[in-house]
Amino acid sequence: MEHGRSKKIYEEAKKYIPGGVNSPVRAFKSVGLDPVFIESGKGSRVLDADGNSYIDFVCSWGPLILGHSPEYIYDGIEEIIRKGTSFGLPTETEVKMARLICEALPGMDMVRMVNSGTEATMSALRLARAYTGRDKIIKFEGCYHGHCDSLLVKAGSGALTLGVPTTPGVPQDVIKDTIVCRYNDTSSVEAAFSENAGGIAAVIVEPVAGNMGVVPPREGFLESLREITKRHGAILIFDEVITGFRLSYGSAQGLFKVEPDITCLGKIIGGGLPVGAYGGKREIMSMVSPLGSVYQAGTLSGNPLAMHMGMKTLEYLRDNPQVYGSIEDNAVRLEAGLNAIIDELSIDACVTRAKGMVCLFLGKGPMESHDDVIRCDTARYASYFREMLERGVIIPPAQFEGWFLSYAHTREDIEYAIKASRESLEIAFA
Ligand code: PLP
């Protein structure tokens, strides 16, 4: 496969952009390659600057649940652009969007739109601290909640991949109130609450961890978090930036039937445009400015274009519930295919899955926490990635990320990805 033009663009990019990319994981550093630069996407495929076509399992890291450039979402978009792209004054689409989100999520009475998942989690923490009058927060090792200072402690995603899960530049003072517990380990949460009696404002959790690979919650884990936080008068924050509208239309909270106090959203609700949101119980959200005194604002928040794309996406998901079944069927097929290869090749690897979220770990399972996943063989994963790319399949360029399936992926795409995986894993484990 030729990558001459991508390489040329990358050389130019490195002159002006740190590392040549605008988000670290795009650099392909952990898989020992230069990044491919993308020209366009349609359905389940992307086309790079050299004209190579790939089946895409990155899907913009989650937003594209309906695949690339779906006609039914793009319908009427030109008219919306021509009406104006930003006003700094409210529009009716924001209200329609807020209603859609509140009607879908059990734990959501009111919602505030922001511009990214990072803004959502950062604002949610401020609100939880203001509501409880406490400063400390609990997060879980390997969970990633964006690049907000106080949450960049033992973080997942790119921070874990690049080996800097606690980043320089964050003052000790900022993280002194961040307590890190073990994912899927209720006793570590109980212990943190007893050691910090009356001091913990909130527990923030990815209901299915999607930034250390895919690590589903053990049965009862989310229920325990709900019970413990309630007992201690702390706020439970579900970071559903990945799981929101992905696991089901009611998101993780609808699927697991556990209602958080505050939910953070992003990705899918922007239909591929920059967006985020946080919301929850009316009593808590009533503290947000201008209704209450907790300040939070944004020049482009509720941007008309992002709202339109997000609204069209959510309406499609609401009106076409078969989307979730179809994605899950393909995820089950992928899981079975990968498991068969693991058996056949007798390799140390395992597959995790939560509905349509899938991950192939090159290490011995079970994968239930950060301690488990970091034992994976990232060098072999890099080799597996490179072979997959050569065969026209883009999987996440890092072991500690999940595959994103979309409604546009066909059965043939999945079968091809399984076949390519068989060949690629054979080489990676040779
Ligand atoms: N929360 C989770 C669970 C995420 O996966 C991410 C990003 O991947 C974020 C928050 C941050 O979102 P954004 O990249 O839009 O700031």
Q: How far is the CA of 430 from the centre of ligand 1 (A)?
A: 36
Considering the domain architecture, whether residues 329 and 307 belong to the same structural domain is answered as no
Side chain identity, residue 118: T
How would residue 97 be classed by pLDDT, with cut points 50, 70 and 90? very high
Going by C-alpha positions, the residue among 313, 269, 264 that lies closest to residue 107 is: 264
pLDDT at 136 over 70: yes
Considering the domain architecture, whether residues 342 and 198 belong to the same structural domain is answered as no
Considering the domain architecture, whether residues 190 and 259 belong to the same structural domain is answered as yes
pLDDT at 155 over 80: no
Distances in Å between the Cα of 391 and the Cα atoms of 44, 385, 416, 418, 421 are 15, 10, 9, 11, 9
What is the largest distance, in Å, between two alpha-carbon atoms of the chain? Answer: 62
- ipTM for the predicted complex comes to 0.99
For residue 264, give the CATH number of its domain: 3.40.640.10
Q: Give the domain extent around 358.
A: 4-69+321-428
Average pLDDT for 309-332: 98
Cis (ω within 30 of 0) for the bond into 168? no
Q: How far apart are CA 227 and CA 11, in angstroms?
A: 53
Side chain identity, residue 206: E
Considering the domain architecture, whether residues 293 and 342 belong to the same structural domain is answered as no
Angle between the N-to-C axes of helices 411-428 and 378-390, in degrees from 0 to 180, rounded to the nearest 10: 130
Which atom of ligand 1 is closest in space to residue 266's alpha carbon? 15
SS3 state at 343: helix
Last residue of a domain, one of 263, 290, 319: 319
Residue ranges lining ligand 1, Cβ < 6 Å: 61, 116-118, 121, 144-146, 157, 206, 210-211, 239, 241-242, 266, 276
Tell me 35's DSSP state.
P
Question: Which residue has the CA at smallest separation from atom 9 of ligand 1?
Answer: 146
Cis (ω within 30 of 0) for the bond into 396? no
**Averaged pLDDT of the chain:** 96
pLDDT at 157 over 80: no
Last residue of a domain, one of 251, 284, 319: 319
Q: Work out how many domains the chain is built from and give that number.
A: 2
How would residue 415 be classed by pLDDT, with cut points 50, 70 and 90? very high
* pLDDT computed for residue 166 by the predictor: 74
Considering the domain architecture, whether residues 313 and 360 belong to the same structural domain is answered as no
Average pLDDT for 42-61: 98
Q: For residue 237, what are its two tokens?
A: 């924050």
* pLDDT computed for residue 161 by the predictor: 64
Considering the domain architecture, whether residues 240 and 385 belong to the same structural domain is answered as no
How would residue 153 be classed by pLDDT, with cut points 50, 70 and 90? confident
* pLDDT computed for residue 165 by the predictor: 62
* pLDDT computed for residue 164 by the predictor: 59
Tens digits of residue pLDDT in 214-273 = 999 999 999 999 999 999 999 999 999 999 999 999 999 999 999 999 999 999 999 999
Of the residues 262, 267, 275, which should be mutated to test ligand 1's pocket, given the most ligand atoms within 8 Å of the CB?
267
CA dihedral 24, 30, 32, 33 (to 10 degrees): -30
* pLDDT computed for residue 162 by the predictor: 63
Q: How far is the CA of 8 from the centre of ligand 1 (A)?
A: 30
Last residue of a domain, one of 288, 319, 350: 319
Considering the domain architecture, whether residues 180 and 258 belong to the same structural domain is answered as yes
Which atom of ligand 1 is closest in space to residue 276's alpha carbon? 15
pTM: 0.97
Tell me 410's DSSP state.
-
Considering the domain architecture, whether residues 96 and 32 belong to the same structural domain is answered as no
State the catalytic residues: 144, 239, 267
Which residues partner with 43 through β-bridges? 68
pLDDT at 160 over 80: no
* pLDDT computed for residue 108 by the predictor: 96
Q: How far is the CA of 428 from the centre of ligand 1 (A)?
A: 30
For residue 28, give the CATH number of its domain: 3.90.1150.10
Q: How far is the CA of 116 from the centre of ligand 1 (A)?
A: 7
Considering the domain architecture, whether residues 386 and 336 belong to the same structural domain is answered as yes
Considering the domain architecture, whether residues 169 and 122 belong to the same structural domain is answered as yes
Which atom of ligand 1 is closest in space to residue 118's alpha carbon? 16
Average pLDDT for 24-34: 93
Considering the domain architecture, whether residues 102 and 228 belong to the same structural domain is answered as yes
Considering the domain architecture, whether residues 185 and 162 belong to the same structural domain is answered as yes
Which atom of ligand 1 is closest in space to residue 206's alpha carbon? 3
* pLDDT computed for residue 76 by the predictor: 87
